[in-house]
Structure 1
């Protein structure tokens, strides 16, 4: 409700127009009684007859009316949705200009066209010239088209295509008076938008990419499916199909354009559209064959009409042209449709969909130790749930997972040289696109974010990594009071610090560690998380070190696990990254402060230079009161509503999981150690994939969550 109220405050003119339309509907009775057949329609509705009879005020009075009560619903919903979008994007002043101008262009332009077209034996134009209309749909459609000038690619083009496709398809197949008005208003709005923003309108053309060809072919088949359904419901009403004879219309109704036949055809077209979007080779072959056969049949039909001197050739040419555009897109972009089926891809060596095996994991681990990388969390890329992408042109790999059509990469590409890391990013993206997957990388550093932005991707900060520089670490000053208290209390209670591989610890300590971890998971009421959060299984890695707080009775009060940091160039670890944190319920109160402080001192004594407290997932908290130093970044964050969808999702997911996993509390806890914070990013190529990326992230963090767990989360999030 708060968001709705804020949105309404940003669109006061839209809300006011909706209220005025309802009030006028009540006063005139048009809200429950049709205007058709009432004298009021002639006085208030706009159209060529009204203007010829001197009712110049009708474009204004008709804008706040509807001819039928049922039309109020789409008019008001469209006004609030499209008009609200336009007002928020343009501002109230420019929105009012676009709304009024588009409405007048739609209404007066249609009247002018009909005045020129009538009386020449074209029945369609003669029929519309006698009709009147009401409603402000042309105005808010044109205003929405103008507002698309404020959007960034690729959303600008996609929204414009949708806004233009609706009136054009409806005009071709329904052909009502308002369809002509809508078409003129949208075309005018597209040209007006840049002018309102102080730019000159221009048409730009660029070389189509493989993804563009897939979107184009898929969109054309979706459009064909919609057209088939529209034609079945309202056949032969548009300006092209009005040239058909009455007998031809009845034949089409009885044969090809029944709703059942159109529905079956729509299902087939939508299946082809989805498969073409994935770049499937088999779908491309089917699409080319079906469109080619349809065009042959249409050519034969046109020849038959010409030989028999029958009407209807404009409709035939329209359908032939549409199929011709679709076939041309398929043939010219044929290289974009080389992806095998998912089943075959799983059997193909080197495919992103092929299952990983233990040898690949061992090779990735060895490569990380030998090459190193810039991401301090990179040891997570060696965990067994990942798959590993390699490229022959560079030395290194990208760890990733596949779910819901997304190849979700983890951390920066692993390689010693920055050029190799950038090469791996591009190769991973190309391979994912070729496989019909959406590539993205999660928890990457500013370096990879810069590379992604240079390739036209988007970057969204998703976490902050807390980093401690060990050479200058001193537990002095008021800010370190809690840490000194933890060390002093541990000494009084006889609690000591032990560090080393968990597999080398005594059997009794190992069992206690597993028991503490199991009790921690059971206490949450939800399964243990994964992806960037390890558990006891990951802590058993011989290369991972575990810090234990153990008292004189050999009771484990808490544990931490530390993953090695392999700097570019390889060699011995230059530092350690915190992963698992568990405390014995009812145990030593300051276990975590004691364990982290003790680990820092032990690692510094061994020659390490860095400790990373990792980045709490789904939490971005600036250090309070300047208690910690915040690292800068030259990665430009992209403001605006276009990137807020995933941002809001991650924020809500973090809020929902906070009572169970305490990510944000953990982020606040880390400030006790006076770290510097460095941002971690999610990079992705296309904002249209944000909903799927959000789904994949939730599944990656909760891979074992069942329906009951999701219900628990939903209830906690209210």
Structure 2
């Protein structure tokens, strides 16, 4: 937030006539913008902050007082002769000093740990207390701290009876601190967060706990690992706002895989620079030479970046690396068990354990890494840069339907017609070639394009179908012996004579008036040209919207932020006076012959949950007016899959699709979305599915599910349906 003046008046302090730097304002507070003014505001706000987080404030106060009285603020605690009387661990259990498992919470081993521990406790637990509430945060912190340190002490004490040297060493160690309880609170609170922050917090916690245990392995690390593990499970069960622990979107999966790979190679660098004694032995001198590690860092970093982009070849490289590292860890474990400890074995074993998690993510979520290789594929060509450029050129030249721009999204393939004047954009799923939207071909040649596409599919052993085609192409398909069924309705708003007058536009006028009253501004921009702060808000809104669903984000005809970054796409933003984005829409171009943009199609439509309530009505209406002024003839609000208006009697395939649409309604609200678009008084144009034989419909249905939800299992679909019913 931009604070223009301490007293709330516009302009900075220096802008006010006669003002002197540091002079008090009308409230008696320092008016300058220097450190004194900032410190004064911070001290003044401190009592209010403490009142909101009384548990955190109380613990921090006790830590500070104990640190000052015991002199551990400037003197290491382990040097004190009474250290063993306050430090917990397996020795305290053996000696019967059970009070240390409570008293030891409020001490720190070194002055550096005192400063860092107090600060981290105040920030982490304070933020969690605001979200969980004081009672819950206090209960979790106390139980997590006590359970973590007692459990860790008992565990290492029991393991010390084995030949494991590490366990015997840690069983002699004593420790102090409240960090275990703090991490338990963070782990539990992560369950109350929505995507993508839930996964990010959990990944950071788990990476920290795992790496610290594998390569350092102190008593603190053991208690931290127990607290994080139990905290995540308990938090998810009691207060989880989203089901499961896995990534919910393709982008989350890619970022998690990217982060995991980077952490793996950085861990190797940290072990080299800071050797230690871990559970598997001494890491001193085990790591590879620094130059080798730096080369690995560059190479693996490149692969990790391509994983972040969802590249298939990077997935294969990462899987091969993972398998090799896991095999190396198995060999290292065998050598350690045989009491032979060659150089590098402890590091190889620790890295192998980390690679198991990375490999599991890559294998189980392999559908997130489907961006194709740059090579020719059977049954068409992949959407590499050359073919994408060719397809876009043809689309600009001959024009297309309201959905044709979706055919040039990267995950599609192209079949270019034999005369080279057009193409069919399609995807392959479950043995089906799903052509998306109308063939992009010159007028009057749709039937020939359909015939060629069917022949290409047969040659590749695929079942062809045409999805989301207009009446014209549906007629051409029927002329070729295909069958068609209406699956949706495109909602089109004509712009030349658009005026929001009359009773039917009441909701739209109300949204526009309220937005003006609240200072909300509409901007039509190229998203890729926006500042990082705006782009970050757009991504956060989009991922929060996806996180509210019972299933991962859909693809195929439903784009996201990545598609909105295309420089040919307009993006509508609703921005308030503070720069906060309340909603985002994206508009895809609809080309006519000769490169003329006839209209625009609505794709992304997402809002901030706590923002301006009628923001969608405001953004769509504002976009219609601005695009009309720029010469557009119409806008398409798109058709919701498996949703249509009217009360006509249905039979056969239509009835099955109607029931499927009803079943999907609790999950994605297609029919509710269709009803919302009726506020803009559109005209309706049928959208069809074309197929050759009823026997193909089961496979086509499965292929469409895979196209829209490539990473979702049948179990997830059923679980989401029951949970929303």
User: TM-score under structure 2 normalisation?
Assistant: 0.50
